[in-house]
């Protein structure tokens, strides 16, 4: 692997040839209307590309192409071993194109190039490898019926599925859907967020190079209320798998109800609690973890530990540690290889996040560090790491998902109060408890209502464990073998053995 600090990413960005048409039936194609929208980099406001602004007609064409590919059996009827080999090849091609994919990701949504190269590209490739490896090891079942019958329980691909994804990890969130969907034999239509279309298009091109037949993997670019809605409402899409905000997730339930009752999977927002208890002996270590996690990816993380619920006896030490880390994290141009904190995704999101500083102050929280935009002259979107202290859990900065580098600290007086505050949220995605007491670790983990609990750690990443939330954080799970449940239908076949 080349040393990324030796690459002149600024020059590479100038040399980059960006493809920005939709990708349907294995070809780059203009939208039927000929409309485009401008993709602007949050790094400095530069124009990156004019991207195809698709609508219902383009979605119809993509669905037809995906259906035709599915029916042809070129992919769906391949043996699992053959699909495995092609997906492994795809993973390797993704790695071979690491620098271009990482650069597109950073230009499009502002994350540090050091992260795009080391985290996003690798995790995307690993995800394809993992599902490739799994698919020829999954067996059907024979049910324990009466002896005069043989009942087979088999898995079949859903058929044509769609994935609608957000902009915070554009490639990786897409891969979490694409890899199990393709491994299971489905055809897929991917709709990237309008803020971050570019890596999706590049991935689709590389998929054809890897040997995935034309029409099996399509990308329809454009706005949510047009393209996302058209996919949700389509009568010939069998499953729609969404990652994004809770509000839009609810629309997809509605779209399914108003159309063909397609299967829906939802990975939605979060307001994850991080319980720092006095029974944990290293407050500094825990506080360092919460700071590094909330400011990672500019705070644009569904699992960001955005509520630190801390017992009062260790509150002061925790705040001091977090503030020191916040001071050292200076947002900078994400194309510099040393940058740890980059740009927010766009102007609208920056304004939305900044508004929470006013809300925090109005509600009576203390802004102990940050709270300002920075590098304004660059023309880009940068926000200082921000900490709100003495927050009450009924304040908006404790209830609303901010999706930016802003931490709300809520002091509490007991473990029971910490659990009560943790669960007093519409969300239930990730959570964390820090204690050295084994009994407390187990009892608190059980009482927290969330899809994921980390004990004395945070955001551990591995393909082997399911990822997703309860309450308004979603329905279903990405990652692990459980994700394959979403992308397959179970069929029961009864065979009479009476002769
Ligand atoms: P968003 O909901 O605004 O957009 C997500 C996608 O939905 C985009 O592709 C968008 O174009 C589309 N969309 C928007 N409006 C639509 C509509 N009316 N009909 C159909 N489609 C529509 O979310 P975002 O701002 O891109 O991403 C941030 C959100 O994603 C946060 O809430 C975050 O927590 C969530 N997220 C969740 C996970 C998870 O795994 N749980 C992971 C990453 C991000």
Cα 231 to ligand 1 centre (Å): 14
Look at the block and give the residue holding tokens 């319980």. Answer: 275
Does 404 sit in the ligand 1 pocket, CB within 6 Å?
Answer: no
Residue pair 455/441 in contact (Cβ under 8 Å)? The answer is yes
What is the domain count for the chain?
Answer: 2
Q: Which domain holds residue 412?
A: 273-468
pLDDT lower than 70: segments of the chain? 1, 499
Query: Which amino acid residue places its CA nearest to atom 18 of ligand 1?
Result: 225
The pLDDT value recorded for residue 461 is 82
Residues contacting residue 14 through CB under 8 Å, at least 6 positions apart: none
Are residues 253 and 287 both part of a single domain? Answer: no
Indicate whether 159 belongs to any domain.
yes
Q: Is residue 382 part of a domain?
A: yes
Task: Name the residues annotated as catalytic.
Answer: 267, 302
| Residues 442, 344 share a domain | yes
Kindly give the distance from the C-alpha atom of residue 176 to the centroid of ligand 1, in angstroms, as a whole number: 15
Reference 100, options 192, 191, 220, 19; nearest CA is 19
Q: Are residues 304 and 227 in the same domain?
A: no
Beta carbons within 10 angstroms of residue 399's beta carbon: 15
* Domain membership flag for residue 184: yes
CB 67 within 8 A of CB 236: yes
* Mutation test residue for ligand 1: of 224, 301, 468, the one with most atoms within 8 Å of CB: 224
What residues are paired with 39 via a beta bridge? 49
Nearest CA to ligand 1 atom 16: 224
Judge contact between 340 and 377, C-beta under 8 A. no
Strands 432-434 and 373-374: unpaired
Could you read off the pLDDT of 235-245 as tens digits, one per residue? 999 999 999 99
The token pair that represents 163 in the structure block:
């994935």
Distance between Cα 497 and ligand 1 center (Å): 51
In a domain, 83, yes or no: yes
Q: How far is the CA of 113 from the centre of ligand 1 (A)?
A: 23
Tell me if residue 233 falls in helix, strand or coil: helix
Closest by CA position to 304, among listed 342, 349, 273: 273
pLDDT of residue 402: 98
Say which CATH number the domain at 451 has: 3.40.309.10
- pLDDT tens-digit series, residues 304-356: 999 999 999 999 999 999 999 999 999 999 999 999 999 999 999 999 999 99
d(CA 229, CA 387): 37
Regarding whether 213 and 344 lie in a shared domain, the answer is no
Residue 44 to residue 55: CA distance in whole angstroms: 29
Pocket lining: 170 vs ligand 1, CB cutoff 6 Å: no
Residues recorded for the chain: 499
CA of 166 to the centre of ligand 1 (A): 5
**Cβ atoms of 161 and 70 closer than 8 Å:** no
Q: Does 248 contact ligand 1 (Cβ within 6 A)?
A: yes
Residue-level pLDDT at 498:
83
User: What is the CB neighbour count within 10 angstroms for residue 34?
Assistant: 8
pLDDT of residue 1: 56
Residues 183 and 107 in one domain: yes
Q: What is the pLDDT of residue 158?
A: 98
Are 367 and 360 contacting, i.e. CB atoms less than 8 angstroms apart?
A: yes
Q: Domain for residue 499, yes or no?
A: no
CA of 178 from ligand 1 middle (Å) equals 17
Please work out whether the CB of residue 342 comes within 6 Å of at least one atom of ligand 1. Answer: no
**Beta carbon of 403 within 6 Å of any ligand 1 atom:** yes
Nearest CA to ligand 1 atom 8: 193
353 and 459 fall within a common domain: yes
Residues 226 and 357 in one domain: no
Contact predicate 273/448, CB 8 Å: yes
Instruction: Report the atom number in ligand 1 closest to the C-alpha of 478.
Output: 40
CATH number at residue 213: 3.40.605.10
- Point out the ligand 1 atom lying closest to the alpha carbon of residue 231: 20
CB–CB of 371/339 below 8 Å?
A: no
pLDDT digit string (tens) for 265-298?
A: 999 999 999 999 999 999 999 999 999 999 999 9
Q: What is the CA radius of gyration of the chain?
A: 23
For residues 303 and 434, membership in a common domain is answered with: yes
Give tens-digit pLDDT for 145-183: 999 999 999 999 999 999 999 999 999 999 999 999 999
Domain assignment present for residue 498? The answer is no
Say if residue 432 is in the same domain as residue 365: yes
Whether 126 is in a domain gets the answer yes
426 and 459 both lie in a single domain: yes
Residue 478 lies in a domain: no
CB 378 within 8 A of CB 414: no
The reply to whether ligand 1 has any atom less than 6 angstroms from the CB of 166 is yes
Do residue 254 and residue 361 come from a single domain? no
Q: Assess whether 432 and 390 both reside in one domain.
A: yes
Q: Please state, in angstroms and rounded to a whole number, the distance separating the CA atoms of residues 64 and 235.
A: 11
Within 13 Å of residue 292, how many CA atoms lie on the same side as its CB? 10
């Amino acid at each position: 692997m080349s040393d990324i600090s030796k690459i002149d990413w600024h020059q590479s960005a100038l040399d980059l040839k960006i493809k920005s048409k939709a990708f349907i039936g294995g070809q780059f194609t203009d939208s039927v209307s000929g409309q485009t929208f401008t993709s602007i980099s949050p790094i400095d406001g530069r124009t990156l590309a004019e991207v195809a602004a698709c609508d219902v007609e383009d979605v119809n064409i993509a669905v037809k192409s995906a259906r035709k590919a599915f029916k042809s059996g070129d992919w769906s009827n391949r043996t699992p071993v053959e699909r495995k080999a092609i997906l492994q090849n795809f993973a390797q091609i993704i790695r071979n194109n690491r620098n271009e994919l990482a650069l597109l990701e950073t230009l499009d949504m502002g994350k540090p190039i050091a992260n795009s190269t080391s985290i996003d590209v690798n995790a995307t490739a690993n995800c394809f490898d993992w599902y490739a490896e799994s698919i020829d090891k999954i067996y059907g079942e024979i049910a324990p019926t009466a002896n005069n019958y043989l009942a087979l329980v088999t898995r079949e691909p859903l058929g044509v599925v769609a994935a609608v994804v957000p902009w915070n990890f554009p490639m990786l969130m897409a891969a979490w859907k694409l890899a199990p969907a393709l491994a299971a034999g489905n055809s897929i239509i991917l709709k990237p967020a309008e803020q971050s279309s570019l890596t999706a298009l590049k991935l689709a091109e590389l998929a054809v190079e890897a040997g995935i037949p034309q029409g099996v993997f399509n990308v329809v670019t454009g706005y949510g209320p047009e393209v996302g809605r058209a996919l949700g409402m389509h009568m010939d899409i069998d499953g729609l798998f969404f990652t994004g905000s809770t509000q839009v997730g609810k629309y997809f339930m509605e779209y399914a109800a108003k159309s063909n009752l397609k299967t829906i999977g939802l990975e939605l927002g979060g307001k994850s609690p991080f319980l720092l208890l006095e029974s944990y002996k290293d407050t500094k270590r825990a506080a360092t973890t919460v700071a590094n996690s909330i400011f990672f990816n500019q705070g644009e993380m569904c699992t960001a530990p955005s509520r630190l619920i801390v017992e009062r006896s260790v509150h002061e030490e925790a705040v001091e540690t977090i503030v020191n880390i916040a001071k050292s994290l200076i947002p900078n141009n994400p194309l510099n290889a040393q940058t740890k904190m980059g740009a927010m995704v766009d102007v609208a999101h920056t304004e939305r996040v900044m508004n929470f500083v006013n809300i925090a102050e109005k509600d009576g929280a203390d802004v102990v560090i940050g709270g300002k935009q920075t590098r304004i002259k660059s023309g880009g979107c940068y926000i200082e790491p921000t900490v709100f202290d003495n927050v009450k859990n009924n304040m908006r900065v404790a209830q609303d998902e901010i999706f930016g580098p802003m931490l709300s600290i809520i002091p509490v007086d007991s473990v029971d109060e910490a659990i009560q505050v943790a669960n007093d949220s519409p969300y239930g995605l990730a959570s964390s408890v820090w204690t050295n007491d084994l009994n407390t670790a187990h009892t608190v983990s059980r009482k927290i209502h969330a899809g994921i609990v980390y004990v004395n750690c945070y955001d551990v990443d591995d393909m082997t464990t399911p990822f997703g939330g309860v309450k308004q954080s979603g329905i279903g799970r990405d990652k692990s073998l459980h994700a394959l449940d979403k992308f397959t239908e179970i069929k029961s076949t009864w065979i009479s053995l009476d002769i």
